[in-house]
Structure 1
Amino acid sequence: MNLQQFRFVRETIRRNFNLTDAARALFTSQPGVSKSIIEFEDELGIKIFERHGKRIKGLTKPGQSVALVIDRIMREVDNLKKVSDEFARRDEGSLVIGCTHAQARYILPKVIPQFRKRFPKVHVSLAEGNPPHLAKLVLHEHADVAIATETLAHTPGLAAMPVYSWEHTIVVLPDHPLAQLKSSEAKNITLEAIAKYPIVTYDHAFSGRNSIDQAFSAVGLVPDIVLEAIDADVIKTYVDVGLGIGIIAGMAYDPRRDKGLVGLPVGHLFGTHTTRVAVKSGVFLRDYVYVLLEMLAPALTREVVQEAIDRSPKAE
């Protein structure tokens, strides 16, 4: 058995048992992947994959155990490479940050310029997506870290740590009836008052949308949500053209930038939310990853991060 066989098995699982996709990802041929896996199974004396004809349908019961062992072996192989890079090229390398649009637009611009100034030889990439996708990117080691509000804290195999807390804000046009409320009155705004108007807000996978739905449902209201979007900029655009009132994450509203809109904090209606950053458990982190984490949240020192990794649940 050899590392190439391990890579083929791992990538086949990651590509939902599609040998063609696995071969493409590994820059090799589909017959070569298939032949190597069969040879590996023969050497082990067990079948790793369930098959229907020539197609792979899933893992056998012993295959599930083999897959866990292969994942551990390949993780340590990757760690060896990272250890080598850490000491041979301490301030060089790459950093892939998985993030939602909100983090890419409103949070990371405060951090990345500072990071780049300190590590000018590190190539930084942003991989945007919804929280479940970001969790998979880190688990499959296609991203070094992920930043999101949902999913990360509940994904086995990830160490998720709090970065900051936030609340929702309503945005309306200046001539809207809700805009006439005094700042002292905004904290008394009710769900009934909001439900009178068409609403533009997030897609269900993003920025605390579930808490919005649950709040209305708890008081027996069905809001008229006329448009759903994955980021606050789109929501604000449609509020600006008069489609309805917007419900967005508070950090996405800046009165200096959003001069054509009025913002009303409504944390008392939809609760407080925590955005987290996650890394994969058991993965060796380059020094500059620890620095990035502490830039995101000063409380995330190397010791705190390592403790979170040590106590995080393992992937199934």
Structure 2
Amino acid sequence: MNLHQFRFVQEAVRRNLNLTETAKALYTSQPGISKAILELEEELGVDIFARHGKRLRRVTEPGQEVLKSIEIILREVGNLKRIGEEFSKQDAGRLSIATTHTQARYILPEPVALLRRRFPKVSVSLHQGTPEQVAQMLIEESADIGLATESLSEFDELVTLPCYEWQHMIVVPASHPLATVERPTLEQLAGEPLVSYHPSFTGRTRIDAAFAHRRLKPNVVLEAIDSDVIKTYVRLGLGVGIVAEMAVREDGLGGDLVAKPAGHLFGLNVSRVAFKRGAYLRNFVYTFAELLSDRLTRALIIRAMSGEQPTDYEL
């Protein structure tokens, strides 16, 4: 057996047992993948996949156990490569960050700039997506570190730690009636057209839950993943905006928009930093995490990665 066979099996499962897509992803031929998997099954003495003709239909029960071992083996192979890079290149390499648009736009610029000053030989690659995509990039090891508000803690394959808290803000034109209201209510918002985030992004689930709890139906007329887009449409009079605090904190709103805190309506959100469980983290990954929050330390992350649940760490 060899690593190629292990990668073929793992990728076939990731591609929903579609060997054509598996071959494309691994830049090889479909017959070569089929042959390698059959040879591995013959050597192990069990069927990893149940078949209908030449098509893979499902993973067998022994195949599930084989997959668990393959995951461990390939994870440790990746760790070996990172250890080699750590000590051969010293503080050089590539930091791959998976995150959402809001984090990339408003939170990451300063930490990334500081990291580059400390580690000039490290290049940074930003991958933006939904929180679920962020988690998947970490699991597939196409990213070293992830940052998002929703979903990350729901994946057993990931180790996550709270990074910082934030609240939503209500944004309206300066001429809007709500601009002079100190603490807008959910009832007032339910009577307005709303412009906010797509349901998968930036704490939108808390917004929906708050309205549902009061049995109110919000009139969301536009959804976006970009806070700047939301503010643009608010300026055009499309409706009342609900955006993340960091989207109005950094560069302000100018004189034409007014922002009101909405933590009393929607509660506090927690953005979390995440790593793949069992991954070897290079020196500059720890440093970047520390730059994200003064509560995150190398020692804390090591404890969490070892399986310990730090009880002395809270936001």
Bin the TM-score by the shorter chain.
over 0.9
SS in structure 1 of the partner of residue 97 of structure 2: strand
Say yes or no: does 1:262 pair with 2:271: no
CA distance in 2, matches of 1:102, 1:15: 29
> How many angstroms does 1:244 deviate by?
0.2
- Name the count of aligned residue pairs: 308
Query: 1:109 is matched with which residue?
Result: 109
Query: 2:302 is matched with which residue?
Result: 306
> How many angstroms does 1:80 deviate by?
0.9
Q: What percent of counterpart residues are identical?
A: 51
CA distance in 1, matches of 2:175, 2:30: 62
Say yes or no: does 1:285 pair with 2:281: yes
CA distance in 1, matches of 2:188, 2:308: 42
> How many angstroms does 1:256 deviate by?
4.6
User: How has the CA–CA distance of structure 1 residues 173 and 73 changed in structure 2, closer, same or farther, with 3 Å as cutoff?
Assistant: same
Report the residue type matching 1:233 in the other structure.
D
Q: Deviations over 1:203-258 (max 9, x none)?
A: 11111111111111111211111111112111111111110000111111138542
> How many angstroms does 1:50 deviate by?
2.0
CA distance in 1, matches of 2:175, 2:104: 31
CA distance in 1, matches of 2:219, 2:143: 37
Report the residue type matching 1:191 in the other structure.
L
1:201 to 162, 182, 196: 196
Instruction: Verify the 8 A CA contact 2:193 2:219 in the aligned structure 1.
Output: yes
CA distance in 2, matches of 1:88, 1:255: 39
2:225 to 206, 221, 230: 230
> How many angstroms does 1:9 deviate by?
0.9
Report the residue type matching 2:149 in the other structure.
T
Instruction: Verify the 8 A CA contact 1:8 1:33 in the aligned structure 2.
Output: yes
SS in structure 2 of the partner of residue 253 of structure 1: helix
CA distance in 1, matches of 2:216, 2:45: 60
CA distance in 2, matches of 1:80, 1:94: 16
Instruction: Verify the 8 A CA contact 1:96 1:144 in the aligned structure 2.
Output: yes
Report the residue type matching 1:67 in the other structure.
L
Q: Deviations over 1:68-126 (max 9, x none)?
A: 00110111111111111111111111111000000000000111111111111112111
Gaps of 5+ in 2: 310-315
Instruction: Verify the 8 A CA contact 1:157 1:312 in the aligned structure 2.
Output: no
Query: 1:147 is matched with which residue?
Result: 147
1:219 to 206, 214, 217: 214
Report the residue type matching 1:305 in the other structure.
I
Instruction: Verify the 8 A CA contact 1:9 1:37 in the aligned structure 2.
Output: yes
Report the residue type matching 2:113 in the other structure.
P
Query: 1:253 is matched with which residue?
Result: 248
Gaps of 5+ in 1: none
CA distance in 2, matches of 1:266, 1:126: 30
Report the residue type matching 2:112 in the other structure.
I
CA distance in 2, matches of 1:281, 1:211: 27
Report the residue type matching 1:271 in the other structure.
G
Report the residue type matching 2:217 in the other structure.
V
> How many angstroms does 1:15 deviate by?
1.9
Query: 2:88 is matched with which residue?
Result: 88
CA distance in 1, matches of 2:307, 2:280: 15
Query: 2:312 is matched with which residue?
Result: none
Instruction: Verify the 8 A CA contact 2:10 2:71 in the aligned structure 1.
Output: yes
Instruction: Verify the 8 A CA contact 2:160 2:275 in the aligned structure 1.
Output: yes
Query: 1:176 is matched with which residue?
Result: 176
Instruction: Verify the 8 A CA contact 1:169 1:266 in the aligned structure 2.
Output: yes
SS in structure 2 of the partner of residue 263 of structure 1: strand
Q: Deviations over 1:250-274 (max 9, x none)?
A: 1111385421211000100000010
Instruction: Verify the 8 A CA contact 1:5 1:37 in the aligned structure 2.
Output: yes
CA distance in 2, matches of 1:33, 1:80: 25
Instruction: Verify the 8 A CA contact 1:158 1:312 in the aligned structure 2.
Output: no
Say yes or no: does 1:239 pair with 2:252: no
SS in structure 1 of the partner of residue 270 of structure 2: strand
CA distance in 1, matches of 2:251, 2:291: 25
Report the residue type matching 2:192 in the other structure.
Y
Instruction: Verify the 8 A CA contact 1:200 1:243 in the aligned structure 2.
Output: yes
CA distance in 1, matches of 2:250, 2:3: 55
CA distance in 2, matches of 1:239, 1:255: 18
Instruction: Verify the 8 A CA contact 2:106 2:250 in the aligned structure 1.
Output: no
Report the residue type matching 2:96 in the other structure.
V
